[in-house]
Amino acid sequence: MNLEALILLIAAIVLVALIFYVSGAIVSQDWSAGSSLILRILVVSLIAVFIIPLFRDATSSIDVGDLGLLVAFVLLVVVVRFVLVEELAVAEEWLASLVISLIAVVLIYIVDEVSRAIFDLRLLEIL
């Protein structure tokens, strides 16, 4: 891994963390973030940046189509539920984790497409 790839990987993790912060703030309607919440967001971001491409690549090699993305999304919902939603003040924890994950995946896809269009670089194909 060269220096440029490492910088892009760190930028991807920070950007995904910002996306999870925004989606969590939208769902909980609380824009304050303590140190515990920031650490939880970083853990979820690390998992999202490393696990989603891993599942996508693994399933593309065995020809099961988009099943890997579905499994990665379900895994992301579970991780968001048990890591991130524990810190947020929401009534329905599973619904909140589903909505946070959905908002985050849509925003990550939008940022990925914009980065591909402007910089000719896929955000989640850095690894």
Domain layout of the chain by residue ranges = 3-125
pLDDT tens digits, one per residue of 6-16: 787 888 889 88
| Whole-number Å distance between alpha carbons of 42 and 51 | 14
- On whether the CB atoms of residues 85 and 37 are closer than 8 A, the answer is no
Other Cβ atoms less than 10 A from the Cβ of 35: the count is 7
The answer on pLDDT for 95 being more than 70 is yes
Q: Pick the residue with more confidence: 57 or 1?
A: 57
Using CA atoms, how far residue 94 sits from 9, 78, 106, in Å, is 29, 8, 18
* pLDDT at residue 125, rounded to an integer: 63
Asked if residue 114 has pLDDT above 70, the reply is yes
**Mean pLDDT of all residues belonging to the chain:** 83
Question: pLDDT tens-digit profile of 32-74?
Answer: 888 898 999 999 999 888 877 777 777 777 877 777 778 888 8
Query: Percent of the chain at pLDDT above 70?
Result: 94
Rounded Cα gap, residues 103 and 26, in angstroms: 9
pLDDT score at 61: 79
Say if CB 41 and CB 21 are below 8 A apart: yes
Q: How far apart are CA 37 and CA 72, in angstroms?
A: 22
